[in-house]
Structures are given as structure tokens and as C-alpha cells.
A and B are shown apart, each in its own frame.
Chain A
Amino acid sequence: MNLILLAWKNIRHQWLDTLLGVLLLAFGLGTISMLILIEKQSSEQFNRNIKDIDMVLGAKGSPLQLILANVYHVDAPTGNIKIRDAKQVIYNPTVAMAIPLAYGDNFQQWRIVGTDSNYAQHYAMKLREGVAFKEEYDANIGADVAKATGLKLGDTFLSTHGLDQTENDEEHAHHHAYRVVGIFEKSGSVIDRLILTPLETIWHAHVYSEPASTEIEESNDSTNSPPPMIKKGPMMMLRPAKAMAPSPNDNKEVTAYLIKSRMAMAQMILPNLIKETNMQLAFTAIEVNRLSQNFGLGMDTVKAVAWVIIGLSFFSIFISLFNSLKKRKYELALMRSMGASPFKVFALIITESLLLVSTGIIFSWLFSRIGLSILSHQLNNSFHYTMNVKDFSIQEVYLTIAALLFGVIAALAPAINAYKMDISKTLAHE
């Protein structure tokens, strides 16, 4: 026998009295713990995907939607823009980088995105196998796509029109097969969940149905190629007249350009260039900040409720310890009569409280992981986003320490009462 075993047996003996307190504590701590992990992981995801992208150029609509759709690929796009219109922004000297994105099709609900090689380079993607796409209908698939669809190198597949139709939606299926030429390593970025293909594929599959060979031939001429990424460097400070010249692709459309500016002034200059167009520039910092604030407000509300529950749980533990003290007063006096020091009785009550809190902590860990797992499942179904259930935050350690500390505080009054107990009077029932 030892103090912990004795305390544990006492708790087990009157488990019904303490159950509510432990459950409340587990629920409160579990909620806080889950929110900590959601905040941590969503913040990591946001930062990883936003990676140096300052602006998104796209069709008018909600700027937040434009960013969610094109940076995180969790929302529908606002529409398409003509390359001709976009040129005045993407070739502006204040722009350091512009990555074109065009999409509207899916394979088994995984987005197919037409782009150029710079998109993968921007996220430092590495191919696990195969090569980078080169020809129309070549596809480089993200690691999550490969895992979920089972697509392998050399496999072919048909796309479906739209972003959320299933493969069985024959009516909207395209009839030109894609071929998997490369599979990316897992990166933790949005590309894990995308199928990348040359821009020309998307144009070919949709309204721009010029023969592929023509475009490939044309692409040999740099003036006819899709708007390229503007490389960094002093030479590009000047607007390249050749790039601004009319090209056969001018009338083609893209969904958006991901833009990195060369200088802060870009944020003032660029919006003025598109005032009279159907385009908009959404600033990632502003929109993400707004999203975080809204998201944070909701999180704060849930957190506040969870803290109230935790407070109630400690009150409940305090009450149950006090009630238990009343019931066991004679028992504790008996222990004292057998030689237990006042400190031992004090320590017993504190240990019981710590064991109750520890039980609550263990259950809270289970609750938070189960909650996170359910959330992850829902996110995966809706957006192909997942949460790491095995993740751990240092804040959870602080939370655990704080909970144990509060456990000691909740037990202090009953423990002091036990410490000061008059054994003789108690044993004599005076």
C-alpha cells in the first residue's frame, strides 16, 4: 500500500460522487486542447500555403473567396479573367512573380489545376517519381491525390467538369484522358491535394479548343506562350515590351494569378491599373488577417465556454472532496489514531484531487483527439484537408500543469480541514 494506491481506492470507492467533476474537466480541457491544436495546425497550413504570395489577381467578387479558392483551394473561384487584361498587372515592374492558375475540372473531386512549372517550384515540390509535365494532358499529382485515388505513374484518367462532381457523373465527363507523368513527394502544401497540368490542357478541354499541336508549335514562340512567370532581377524592373505585345493567347482565360510583389509600392500602384476592369487584386495579408479575426472570434467564444466548464469542474471537484471529507471524517480520524501524521492525511486529500485531475486530463486528451479526428474527417470530405491527430502542442503541457495546480488549489481547503481535525472529538462523535 502507498499513498497513491490508497487515494485511488478512495476515489474508486466513491466514483459516482466525483464522476461529474472529472467529466466536466475532461470536456473543458479537451475542448481547449482541441482548439489549441486546430489553431496551431491551421496557422501552419495557412503560412505554408501563402508562402510569399502577396496578392491574387482574379475576377471580381469576394476577395476572401478569391484567396481561399486560389491559394488554399477550398472555395469556388470567382470567375475567369482574360490574359490580355491581366498583362498590365503581371508585367508591371513592381511584380516579381506571377503564377497563372486555370481550373474548373476534377478527378474524383480532386482539383485539376492548369499552371506552369513555376507553381511547383514556388512550393519547392519534389517529384517522388516520374517527370514534370510537359505536354498537354500530362499530369503531376500530389501525394494525397496519389494515396486517395491510387493513381500510379503511367495511369490515365478522365476528368469531370466542375470542382465537386464525382467520377460517375458521365454527363459532365471530358473524353480526353490525362496521363500521370509524375507524382510529388508529400510537402504539407496545397499541392499535395492537386493535380497539376499545363495551362494548355485546361484551354483545350474547355472553350479554347484549338488543336493541341498548334499551341505546342506556337509555344515555341515566346510571345505566344502563356504569360510566363516574371523572374526576379534588375532586368525585369522595366516593363518588357515584347511580353506586352499582342499574342495569340491574349483572349484565353485563366482563373487567377498568384502574385509576389517586388516592392511595397505595388499595393498602391496595381489596384489603380485594374479599376475599370472586371478584375480585382486580393491582398493575402489583409484577407487572411480578416479570416483569422473571424475565425479567432469563434474560437475565443468556444474557448470562453470551455474555461467556464473547467471552472465548474474544479468547483465540482472541490465540492466532492468536501463532501467526501464529511463522509470520511471518522475514517481519517481513525487513520490518525493509527499513527498517521496530520501531513499524511493532508497529502492524501491532495493526492486524491491530483488523481481526479489526472484522470480528467487523460480523458481530455482522448476527447480532444477524438474531436480532432471527427473534424479531420469532415474537412477531408469537404476540402481534402486533414488534421494531424497525433500532433502535440507545448501549450497542452502548460494546460496540464495549470490543471494540476488548480487541482491542488481546489483540494487545499478540504485538506487543511483534514489536517486540523480534532481526532478525539471526531472519534468520540462530539
Chain B
Amino acid sequence: MLTTKELQYQYPKGKKIDFPDFSLQQGETGLLLGESGSGKTTLLHILSGLRAPTAGVVQYDNTNLYQLSSGQRDAFRGKNMGLIFQTPAFIQSLSVLENLMAPLYLNHQLQDQHKAKHLLEKVGLYHKINQRPFQLSIGEQQRVSIIRAVIQSPQLIFADEPTSALDDKNAHQVIELLLNISAENKASLLVVTHDHRWSSFISKTIRL
């Protein structure tokens, strides 16, 4: 599904990082571990087409990500990837439900609300459907951002430190949700973290 080869990134005014080659099969989960400043987020951005590597290949099945044009890469990301960030971010002017519909609109897909409502119900946030994101707790926001990442059934989910800002209770809820939801969607999951709470849930690790 996802294969990387000889990936390298040179920061404009800094060090050069050589990333290890790795692959992730469909439905497989993996942990990307590393110290602060080791380039975890940079690698995640390279894998999701947000930042071009200095050298190397990112291959999705038969698609070489960086042989696509910028516009094609945006569309590819929109259709095939779901991104979750350390700090949940939303379009503040939209309600929870509208935020969940945003990826569908931005990728010209049918804005069917059923899945969003079903998932919100599943995570116990259906009653917050019309609230603004800032009215939710951090834990609730992260759960909503996970739903948003899977709303259009992507093949790959990238999560960047999704639990580092959460307490144990919320972190466990988010970990379980991410694992379950990616399994249900048969999506591959790559979690970038230095949060040890993940290690008991995912065995495959890639160290930087």
C-alpha cells in the first residue's frame, strides 16, 4: 500500500535527515517513534504530500506521490488520506456537523450526513452536533477530528501526536477510537508519537 524509498529531507537552514525505508500494508497500523526534532512531523508531511522531500520516493500502490502535480497531489490527499493533528483544529465559523461535512465539500463528494451523525452518536457527541468546535473539550475535539479524518473512508490515516495533549482517560478513548475506526474502514494507520501509551496497542514501529 504505502512504501517509502531513500527519503531524504534537507531543511533550508539546517540539518539533513535520511529517513528509513518502510512500508505499510492495507489495514496495517504502525507507530512512528522518535525524539523531539528527529523529523517525525516532517516525515508525516512528506508522506501526506504536504512537503516535498529533497530526494526519495513515496509510493501508494501504483502512484508515485511526488510525480503528481501539486493540484493532483491535493486531490489525492483529499480522497485517500485522513489527517489528525496534535492540536485539534477546525473551521471555527462552522458547527461540528458542518466541520465533518467540510472534507466532502472540499473534495467534491456527496455531502451525506448519515455517516457523520452515526459516528458522532457512536462516540457520544451527537448532542453536540450543532455546537461550535470551541464549545467542546479538548478530548471531544480530538474525537471529532478523528471522525473528520475518516468521514470519506480514506485508505490511510495519519495521526500526528493525537494523544499528547490528553489525560489518560481521554488518551485511551482516542486510541481505542482510532484503532477501531481505522479497522472498520480497513484503513492503514500511521501514528507519529513519543507517547508511550500507544506502545501496548501497536506492535509495528518505525524509529527515527
Contacts and interface: CB of A to CB of B under 8 A. Distances in A.
Interface in B148-180: 148
Contacts of B79: 339
Contacts of A335: 91, 102, 106
B98 A1 contact: yes
Describe A's contact surface by its main secondary structure: helix
Interface in B78-118: 78-79, 83, 85, 89-94, 98, 101-103, 105-107, 111
B75 interface: yes
A241 interface: no
Contacts of B101: 1
Contacts of B90: 331, 334
A424 B50 contact: yes
A172 B161 CA distance: 94
A427 B102 contact: no
Interface stretch (A6-14, A98-106, A133-141, A362-370): A6-14
B93 A340 contact: no
Nearest to B111: A1
A119 interface: no
Contact of A339 (B41, B45, B75, B92): B75
B63 to A, nearest CB: 15
Contacts of B70: 342
B143 interface: no
A428 B51 CA distance: 11
A325 to B, nearest CB: 14
B45 A427 contact: yes
A279 B90 CA distance: 82
A331 B91 contact: yes
Contact of B83 (A6, A12, A337, A340): A337
A13 B48 contact: no
Contacts, number: 73
B79 to A, nearest CB: 7
Contacts of A19: none
A323 to B, nearest CB: 15
B105 A1 contact: yes
Given A423-B50, A424-B45, A427-B50, A338 B92 contact: no
A421 to B, nearest CB: 11
Contact of A337 (B41, B50, B93, B111): B50
Nearest to A335: B106
A330 B85 CA distance: 12
Interface residues of B, number: 30
A423 B92 CA distance: 18
A2 interface: yes
Contacts of A12: 93
A7 to B, nearest CB: 9
A112 B6 CA distance: 101
Contact of A334 (B42, B51, B91, B111): B91
A335 B111 CA distance: 16
A341 B75 contact: yes
A239 interface: no
- Most chain B CB atoms below 10 A, which of A14, A328, A330, A340: A340
Interface string A1-31: 1100010011011100000000000000000
A213 to B, nearest CB: 85
A340 B45 contact: no
A336 interface: yes
A186 interface: no
Contacts of A344: 106
Contacts of A336: 74
A423 B44 CA distance: 13
A425 to B, nearest CB: 8
15 contacts: A9-B93, A9-B94, A12-B93, A331-B90, A335-B102, A335-B106, A336-B74, A337-B83, A338-B78, A338-B148, A339-B77, A341-B71, A342-B70, A428-B41, A428-B45
Given A1-B102, A339-B107, 16 more contacts: A1-B98, A9-B93, A14-B93, A331-B89, A331-B91, A334-B91, A337-B50, A338-B107, A339-B106, A340-B106, A341-B75, A342-B74, A423-B50, A427-B85, A428-B42, A428-B45
Task: Please give me the 9 A-B residue pairs with the lowest Cβ-Cβ distance, nearest first.
Answer: A339-B78, A13-B93, A424-B51, A424-B50, A9-B93, A340-B106, A424-B45, A1-B105, A339-B107
